[in-house]
Amino acid sequence: MTREKPIVYVLRGDDHQAIKTHLANFYANLGDASLAEMNTTRLDGKTAGLSELLSAAMALPFLTERRLVILEDALHAYSGRGKQELREKFIDLLEGLPASTALVLIVADRQKYSSRTGTTWETLNNAHWFIKWAQTAGGRAMIIDCPLPSEANMPAWISKKALELGGEFTREAAGVLRDFIGNNTQGAVQEINKLLAYVNYERPVTVSDVENLSIRDRQSDIFALVDALGNRQGEKAVELLHNLLEEMDFMPLFGMVVRQFRLLIQAREILDLGGGEGNITETLGVHPFVAKKIHAQAQQFDLRSLEEIYHHLLKIDLDEKTGGMPGAIALDVLIARLAG
């Protein structure tokens, strides 16, 4: 007996590259590209109401087995107090969808760890109303987790992705790329493709390849941006930010900025305990080139200032994912204020 396909798919997480890959697979499963485009509807949960969602989800597929409906920020309209009736109508809609529809709900979330509960999702955990429904929906709903890999697991992730793309990295090269880009998977895919093309897919990418190609240039621009902030060079900091935004999408760039300040906080704590550059290299597990720059930059800030900046960055991240101020504008405002 053939098992029925799920109707509601939930992409939960903060790995935008993994979400992008899953969406590409859903799209490919529709068959021919022209038919797939005709049978795909993309909606924004911040603006699309229940009636618009229902209309898209109930439409019959044309010359394909199923119709694909993708809802970004899927639970935005149903979050907060006083939404119980709206949530019930949303659940009723999900339960009434035909097998000819594949509804993909994209929900931004991140994992957190505590010694008491272990690793859990920050928002869509087992106590969340939507997860409670999904757990009772049987095979009708499928939750696909898309968490960012930890920085410790990124070298293995890079090596695996390179093999998927038809190339290879040495173990050391994968580690150095991780040192430069952290767990920014979107940025990592861009760099992996570029490096594999650089070696023409004929040999493994080496440490010197990673160090000599443009990833160091972008990382250097991030260092220059932070230097400008530390030296209160406002115009230079904003100019560097705008140049980076012309070359990169916001989320990969923002991930690099967040990682930089996370490393600076850790380095500042090491310095405050009497450590030095060698301790930063060993404790943070970063490349000596990165450790040298972080050591110098950490001396431009005190721990309190770095923690305040990091909290601002977290707010920018939240606003970007929940419909607040656009991330690029908010980061521009923050950098101008910090360097002013």
CA atoms within 13 A on the CB side of 34: 0
CA distance 236 to 89: 51
Q: What is the pLDDT of residue 248?
A: 74
Q: How many CB atoms lie within 10 A of CB 297?
A: 21
Residues 221-264: tens digit of each pLDDT: 777 887 787 777 878 888 888 888 887 778 777 877 888 888 89
Structural contact between residues 246 and 332, judged by C-beta atoms closer than 8 angstroms: no
Residues of the chain falling short of pLDDT 70: 1-3, 214-219, 340
Query: Which is it for strands 101-108 and 111-114: parallel, antiparallel or unpaired?
Result: unpaired
Q: Which residue's entry shows tokens 């930089």?
A: 260
Q: What is the pLDDT of residue 2?
A: 46
Could you tell me the CA-to-CA distances from 257 to 212, 254, 270, 302 in Å, in that order?
21, 5, 20, 18
| H or E element at residue 42 | strand 40-44
CA distance 16 to 72: 12
Answer whether 0.85 is exceeded by the pTM: no
Q: How many CB atoms lie within 10 A of CB 205?
A: 28
Q: What is the pLDDT of residue 215?
A: 57
The rounded Cα 120 to chain-centroid distance in angstroms is 17
Alpha helix (H) residue ranges in the chain? 16-28, 33-38, 50-58, 84-95, 129-136, 154-164, 171-181, 185-198, 207-212, 214-230, 234-247, 250-272, 277-284, 288-298, 303-322, 327-339
Query: What string of DSSP letters covers 53-111?
Result: HHHHHHSPPSSSS-EEEEEETTTGGG-STT-HHHHHHHHHHHHT--TTEEEEEEEE--E
Structural domains present in the chain: 8-146 (3.40.50.300), 150-212 (1.10.8.60), 216-340 (1.20.272.10)
CA distance 283 to 292: 13
